[in-house]
Every structure is written in structure tokens, then in C-alpha cells.
Amino acid sequence: MTESRPSNPKASARAAKPASPSKRAAAAGAAGPKAAGPKAAGPKALAPVSKPPSALTPRHPNLGLAPIDATAGYPAAAEKIRSNMLKISAGALEAAVKADPTIRARYDEAALRRLLRDGELLVERLSMCLGSDTVRWLSEYAEWIGPIYRRRGVPLGDLSALCAGIRETVEPMLSPAEHEVATRALEAATAIFKRNGRIAGDRHKRNALWKWMYRGV
């Protein structure tokens, strides 16, 4: 038989005694970053949610977007304006001649008839703006037709006078909300006519002093 030796009581006491906090911290530092537990992953960045395109934004066909809804505004008012294009254009031309009597002196009968037709085209574009509740159709049209009127010798200021006459003529035919849309569209076109009318080549009456200073230029 082998005799078992009694265990050393001092060693047992040292083993049972817990390590001090300073020693535990030193041991953790010696272990390095590998001993640290797995780092908690932060929340993933969420992509911004894209807002649906507004009905008033340009809808280029190459973007694959649906065209502007022509009935999103006031379709009944648009149809009323469209069915009275000639009457509105005649009233607008009368209002423009009343505001600027030189129009009748500067145009012959054939040219006045062409201005009457020009007013109908503006009214048609206005009806499109009313139907879709956007100024795009009239403002873009105002940008396009500038070179045409330069070749015809018609100042763009006369088209601004037609727009003012149209706004005055359609006011009794529209409700306040509908007239606000029409006013916004006509003012956008008028601003474009005034801006493009300052470009060289427009046939408006120029200041005599500036004309004398820039003669031959």
C-alpha cells in the first residue's frame, strides 16, 4: 500500500485566495486585443427613402416616368377655356389695344388677325395649365416662340400685353382657385417674354439715347 501524503495547507490557501483587481487588470492588458470579446456591430446605415416624384416636376420620357396627369388640376375649367378660345383671344386683343393704342397703328389688318390667332394659341396652352395645375405648358411655349416672333418683327412686349388681356378676360369665367392657377401661368410666360425681349433683335421701341450711343454697333 502506498501512503498518501497530506496536502500543503499553505498552497491550498494561496490557490483559494482570489486575485486582486490590479493583477486581473494587468492580466487582461497582457492578453492583448485578441482576448477581448467580439465587438458588437453597430446598426447598418439605412438608405434614404426616395420620395415619389411630384406631379409638378418635369417628366422626361427617357426617365421612364409617367407623363403629367392632364386632369390633376381643373379639367372642367380647362374645357371651358378651350371651347371659348376665339372669344377670349378677341377680348385679350381688345384689352391689349386699349392698354397700348400704338398696337393698332403698328399692325395692318392681316397682322392683327395673326395676333388674334397667336392669342388663341396662348389660350390653348393656358387650358393645358389649368387641366394639369402646372405652369409648364405655357412657360415652355413662351421660351420656344421667341425666334419666330423675331423673324415676324413682333415685339415680345406685345405678347406680354396679350397675356395681360387674357388674364383680364378669363377672370369672370373662373373660380378664385382656378383664376389663381391661370394668373400664375400667365405671369410665368410674361416674365419669360420680358426677359427674352431684352435680347438684341427684339423689335421693341428702344431708348433714343442708347440708340444714338450704340449706332453702328
Homologous superfamily (CATH) for 75-203: Globins (1.10.490.10)
pLDDT at 35: 44
Contact 127, 81 (CB under 8 A): yes
Shortest CA distance to 127 belongs to which of 172, 91, 178? 178
Domain residue limits, the chain: 75-203
Residue 144 has pLDDT above 80, yes or no: yes
What's the pLDDT tens digit per position in 160-211? 999 999 999 999 999 999 999 999 999 999 999 988 877 766 655 655 565 5
| Distance from chain centroid for Cα 65 | 16
- How many other C-beta atoms are found inside a 10 Å radius of the C-beta of residue 5? 6
Average pLDDT, the chain: 77
Between 6 and 122, where is the model more confident? 122
The three-state (H, E, C) secondary structure of 61-117, written as one string: HHHCCCCCCCCCCCHHHHHHHHHCHHHHHHHHHHHHHHHCCHHHHHCCHHHHHHHHH
pTM of the complete model beyond 0.85: no
Average pLDDT of the segment spanning 109-126 = 94
> Do 112 and 86 contact (CB within 8 A), yes or no?
no
Q: Count how many Cα atoms sit within 13 Å of the Cα of residue 77 in the half-sphere of its side chain.
A: 24
24-57 pLDDT per residue, tens: 545 545 554 444 444 444 444 444 444 444 444 5
The label of the residue with cell 382657385 reads 177
